[in-house]
Amino acid sequence: MKKNLCIGEAVLLAFGLATSASAEDFCSTATHSGTSKTETGSYAPGSIGQYDYQLWYDRATSASATFYSDGSMSCSFQNAGDYLCRSGLQFNSDKTYDQMGGDIIAEFKLVKQSISGVDYSYVGVYGWMENVSTAPNGLVEYYVVDNTLADYMPGDWVGDTKKGTYLIDGAEYTVYRNTRTGPAIGGNSDREFHQYFSIRKTPRDCGTINVSAHIKKWKELGMNDGKLYEAKVLGEAGSTRSGVSGTADFPHAKVYIGTGSEPEHLIERSPYGGSAAVIPGTIEAENFDAGNEGDSYSGARGASGTDGDHTYRGDDYALVDIVAAGTGRAIGYTAAGEWLEYTVNVSSDGDYEVAANVANGSGAGTLELSLDGNPLTTLSFTGTADDWNAYELAKDTVALTAGEHVLRITIVNANTNVDYVQFSPKDKTNLQKRIRLNVASGEFEVFDLQGKALGHVKVPAGSSLSESLASKFYGSGVYMVKQGNRFEKIRVTR
């Protein structure tokens, strides 16, 4: 864990109610602007424009941060034991969050570059509260963590007490409280204080955080608030080994008092259609999980938002463009970095061939697949110049474990159309040699011999499985049917 800053004074800034450009704007167009200051000292607090900033690090070969008058910052570190940069608003600890005249809103965009050696990291909002009635010495250090510079989000180790979960800004957060003794605001000696951590379940590189809404949720969980000392966008990374190195660029970082960012309504995260997609099988790209933006999907920020079909998934998903293409529908008009998540259920451990049906008239590119936040594979395709109807299969072999998982598809190259992703057992003969069905009435999953899911069939009492298949799929052929972990190959003639 990091060493906390010892800050002996607060600066009261004059500010008015503010509104901000939409997330769709700053996430795609953000660049540093205004005057700048570059700091290199191991402890460098200061201000520029209406924003206060801080740089702090230890055991670094070299480290610096450039802060801009628009609130943005660029942070660089080599072999640091702990490094942090932050920018935002400093208060004078005389108001609680609900006495500010509006919600405390933070916006950020993160660009990671060549990060290595990270053991713990926090990207989001950071601050202190004083005069908290239930906290030691009345002090609370708080974090709202929306991302990290590591390959994983923080876990139970951040707090000695897990307080619960809540939905906010369209996503689920897990909340922890910790008791710590160390450097704190208001003095130079170590003191005991509480730490509050809200950890976003699904990390995001860009977004809006309603800090006031988080504080309100903390109170509902029995974690009292106090007078606010500060609220700043934070980038922090540390290592217990040889040190962390890299660059964390924030081309947009802004904190203001303004209008809350809550969606019109919160959509509970759930699999499309209510059931996890089955592997082996075909996952249609347009059938990503239900949920708010930033939770189950990211919007196509490079697209107009008006292209494609928005009736299939409705207005709640207007940032995702669906086109009539491929084998029916596909995700189109995509932006680089756009991602979609799918709850999947893998039937058994093993090697699977994964094939994505894609098209890109701009040329070659890749898709990145991850499972439960861990990289799975990168699929490469060639593309066909100026032809977005020339679909091709990008393939690889991956190892999967049985059970329920969350699959993420990330579009690396803009303008990539994604029709479906199919998982087939690598050893098809093994699939066909599994325990045969004791065929009776009931419901069965149906696959073709390549492992592509075709749907379900119900067999009424007194009917045969082959008759039910012929009635449902209207054609002769050979089908694989599955009930539980049992398979049967059925030939249908008409």
Can you read off the two tokens belonging to residue 267? 């959509």
Mean pLDDT of 119-143: 96
Q: What percent of the chain shows pLDDT beyond 90?
A: 59
**Is it the case that residue 14 has pLDDT exceeding 70?**
no
Q: How far apart are CA 93 and CA 90, in angstroms?
A: 9
pLDDT digits over 449-489, tens only? Answer: 667 777 888 887 666 777 777 777 766 677 777 877 666 77
> Across 21-25, 197-201, 265-269, which has the greatest mean pLDDT?
197-201
Catalytic residue of the set 39, 236, 284, 341: 236
SS3 167: strand
Nearest by Cα to 316 from 275, 358, 269, 282 = 269
Q: What is the band of 309 on the pLDDT scale with cuts at 50, 70, 90?
A: confident
- Tell me which of 39, 107, 141, 341 is the catalytic residue: 141
Residue 146 near residue 236, CB atoms below 8 Å = no
Residue position matching structure tokens 């596909």: 330
Q: What was the pLDDT predicted at 472? A: 74
For residue 13, pLDDT beyond 60: no
Q: How far apart are the first and last CA of the chain?
A: 69
- Predicted local distance difference test score (pLDDT) of residue 265: 58
Neighbour-count burial of 364, counting CB atoms closer than 10 A to its CB (0-12 exposed, 13-18 middle, 19+ buried)? exposed
pLDDT interval class at 388 (50, 70, 90): confident
Please state, in angstroms and rounded to a whole number, the distance separating the CA atoms of residues 74 and 369. Answer: 29
What does CATH list as the number for 17-258?
2.60.120.180
Whether residue 169 is predicted with pLDDT greater than 60 in this model: the reply is yes
Task: Tell me the three state secondary structure of residue 315.
Answer: helix
Question: For residue 484, what are its two tokens?
Answer: 């539980």
The whole-number average pLDDT for the span 96-117 is 92
pLDDT for 248 equals 95
Segment 176-198 mean pLDDT: 92
What does the buried/exposed string (b/e) look like for 292-303 if buried means 16 or more CB atoms within 10 Å of the residue's CB? bbbbbbbbbbbb
- Quickly count helices (H) and strands (E) in the chain: 4, 32
How large is the average pLDDT for residues 13-21? 39
Query: What band does 343 get if pLDDT is binned at 50, 70 and 90?
Result: very high
The pLDDT of residue 412:
92
- Distances in Å between the alpha carbon of 467 and those of 46, 154, 367, 458, 491? 77, 53, 41, 11, 10
Task: Work out the pLDDT band at 253, boundaries 50, 70, 90.
Answer: very high
Contact 78, 61 (CB under 8 A): yes
Question: Residue 477's pLDDT is what?
Answer: 72
d(CA 70, CA 259): 19
Residue 321 has pLDDT above 90, yes or no: no
Coil, strand, or helix at residue 168? strand
Active site annotation includes 9? no
Write down the pLDDT at residue 443.
80
Q: Looking at residue 475, what is its pLDDT?
A: 63
User: Residue 27 pLDDT > 80, yes or no?
Assistant: yes
CA angle 294, 56, 49 (to 5 degrees): 70
**Which three-class secondary structure string do you get for 418-454?**
EEEEEEEECCHHHHHCCCECCCCCEEEEEECCCCCEE
Q: What pLDDT score does 258 carry?
A: 84
In the predicted model, what is the mean pLDDT of residues 53-64?
Answer: 94
Residue 9 has pLDDT above 60, yes or no: no
| pLDDT attached to residue 490 | 78
What average pLDDT score do residues 339-351 get? 94
- The single-letter DSSP state of residue 26 is H
The SS3 of residue 55 is strand
For 212-248, give the DSSP string: HHHHHHHHHTT----EE-EEEEEEEEE-SSS-EEEEE
Annotation marks residue 24 as catalytic: no
Topology given in CATH for the domain delimited by 272-425:
Jelly Rolls (2.60.120)
Pairwise CA distance, residues 287 & 281, whole Å: 13
Domains 17-258 and 272-425 share a fold: yes
Q: Is the pLDDT of residue 285 over 90?
A: yes
Beta strand 244-258 with 230-238 is unpaired
Average pLDDT across the chain, whole number: 85
pLDDT score of 354 more than 80 = yes
Per-domain boundaries in the chain = 17-258, 272-425, 428-492
